[in-house]
Amino acid sequence: MQELINSFADFVQGMGLFAMTWKMYVMWGVVAVMLFFGVVKQFEPLLLVPIAFGALIANIPDNGMVITQAQREVLSVKNGQPHTERINDVGFISAEVVPYAESAPNMQVAEGLSDEQKREYLAKMDQPAVATPVEGKKGQLTITGQKAQKVLVSRLEGGLFDFLGQGIKCEIFPALIFMGVGALTDFGPLLASPKALLLGAAAQGGVAFTFIAAMALGFTRGEASAIGIIGGADGPTSIFLASNLAPHLLGAIAVAAYTYMALVPLIQPPFMKLFTTEAQRKIKMKSLRQVSKGEKLFFCFVVTIITILICPDAAPLLGMLMFGNFLRECKVTERLVNCAQNELMNITTILLGVSVGLTMQGGRFLQVDTLLIIGLGVVAFAVATVCGLICAQLMNLVPGWRKNPINPLIGSAGVSAVPMAARVSHNVGQQADRTNFLLMHAMGPNVAGVIGTAVIAGYYITTLRG
């Protein structure tokens, strides 16, 4: 009977209810808000719903299903001199250097020394051991102290959802999403009007401005770059960059990126109307020429080679984007295209959303930095939209382009929320003139924005990753 009582007591003590914290309860409220926007308002539901449910699981005490803590030993022998130890473990959180005496030193190294040399040697071995993280370089330590020391590396691992999350850490999910986007998108409007590349490039002004603003607010360069890329309105790219340069901010950045992508129809129109006149919004553009199959295939081939040669770190995104589009345009891989557009895209979206949500533990998410990221996300979108609008107006001043003026509204589609931003440009244009059709014209800057944001992400990784 006593054993039964003890067993029941152990069961009660093991309940997650007693491990709940106030931050977890607050996160439940955040989850409810996300589900409201995703289910009731239908703002980007395919991603907000999985992210929200992942966040709910992450904020319920579990028995290692999400994460567990483990340690790994690293033996370091550097003659007592300060040096840097790179810890390659995914999920690294901290390290502790065990004193020399505890690391079972081989005292035979002192044989053959004079008494004075032995005293100097042993005094050197008594120096305190310290492992100091290298600023801005996660997983790197500057170690000082003994000639030999054992470094205990604490890391997070294990659990079903932790292994699913490797799809983000290993850059698999964003790349697969890009392949699906390529299989779904027609690059013809961009090829028919190459000057749309300028509009896509101009919209990256939001990324640059937000990078500078984040640096001014005290974020590191890696963190600022991951925050700034929100201005590109590209969720997979935001996740890709954050997982490389600011993994501790991944949840906040992903939620901000996808939330604002969903709110593009609400965020952009006020700025579009403020920075354009009614006459400009009524500009009708000439129909685009038909682009041949050969041109589209050649474009995919050339862009893949050039962009990866220039910016190798963008290869996972741009390579898969162009591969997906090549499958679409070659017209001989219908089964693969259907898979990339539907089954694979849907499975990856589910796993990506849940994995992002699982990074939103209350202890990480409920910080001042999260509020700053959300605020900077709005600024990034606004500046990107305005830069695109102004660039289009400046292009209309170029003598050679005055005969076929650009409707400035398509400049706002330079943010890479495909095809939502293009639809917003079209809808605002139709509010000014019901006979004005801008959708295909806006798709050019939209595709250019996707390519531009991916290239910038690759540049940031190349220059900022330690």
pLDDT at 463 over 70: yes
Contact call for residues 402 and 391 (beta carbons, < 8 A) = no
pLDDT at 300 over 90: yes
pLDDT at 447 over 60: yes
3-state secondary structure of 366: coil
DSSP track, 164-207: HTHHHHTT-HHHHHHHHHHHH---HHHHH-TTHHHHHHHTTHHH
* Residue 96 banded pLDDT, cuts 50, 70, 90: low
pLDDT at 431 over 60: yes
Output phi, psi for 133, to 5 deg. Answer: -60, 140
pLDDT at 39 over 80: yes
Beta strands in 7-115 (DSSP E): 68-77, 83-86, 92-98
Q: What is the pLDDT of residue 66?
A: 55
3-state secondary structure of 138: coil
Bond into 419 cis (ω within 30): yes
3-state secondary structure of 217: coil
Write the DSSP symbol of residue 39: I
Average pLDDT of the segment spanning 62-85: 52
Q: What is the pLDDT of residue 276?
A: 92
What is the distance between the alpha carbons of residues 396 and 276, in angstroms, rounded to a whole number?
13
Average pLDDT of the segment spanning 9-27: 74
Q: Burial level of 332, CB count in 10 A (0-12/13-18/19+)?
A: exposed
3-state secondary structure of 93: strand
3-state secondary structure of 25: helix
Q: What is the pLDDT of residue 18?
A: 65
Average pLDDT of the segment spanning 278-298: 92
* Residue 429 banded pLDDT, cuts 50, 70, 90: very high
Is residue 145 left, alpha or beta, with left meaning phi > 0 and alpha meaning psi from -120 to 50? left
Q: What is the pLDDT of residue 338?
A: 95
* Residue 250 banded pLDDT, cuts 50, 70, 90: confident
3-state secondary structure of 154: strand
Q: What is the pLDDT of residue 247?
A: 85
Average pLDDT of the segment spanning 158-163: 67
Residue given tokens 């020394």 in the structure block: 113
Q: What is the pLDDT of residue 120?
A: 59
The amino acid occupying position 121 is Y
Selection from 135-139, 379-383, 424-428 with the highest mean pLDDT: 424-428
Q: Enumerate residues 6+ apart whose C-beta is below 8 A from 2.
A: none
Write the DSSP symbol of residue 60: S
> Which region among 117-131, 150-164, 176-190, 430-444 has the lowest average model confidence (pLDDT)?
117-131
* Per-residue tokens: 286: 């000439």
pLDDT at 296 over 90: yes
Cα torsion 151, 155, 159, 161 to 10°: value is -150
> Strand pairing partners for 86?
140
Q: What is the pLDDT of residue 299?
A: 94
Q: What is the pLDDT of residue 28?
A: 92
* Residue 141 banded pLDDT, cuts 50, 70, 90: low
Question: In 3D, which of 441, 401, 403 has the Cα closest to residue 425?
Answer: 441
pLDDT, mean over the chain: 80
What is the distance between the alpha carbons of residues 394 and 411, in angstroms, rounded to a whole number?
11
Sheet holding 83-86, edge to edge: 83-86, 140-144, 130-133
Average pLDDT of the segment spanning 90-110: 45
What is the distance between the alpha carbons of residues 161 and 51, in angstroms, rounded to a whole number?
13
What is the distance between the alpha carbons of residues 199 and 233, in angstroms, rounded to a whole number?
15
pLDDT at 133 over 70: no
Residue given tokens 């600024």 in the structure block: 379
Q: What is the pLDDT of residue 262?
A: 75
pLDDT at 232 over 80: no
Average pLDDT of the segment spanning 446-462: 91
Question: Please, what sign has the CA dihedral across residues 24, 28, 29, 35?
Answer: positive
Q: What is the pLDDT of residue 203?
A: 86
Q: What is the pLDDT of residue 381?
A: 85
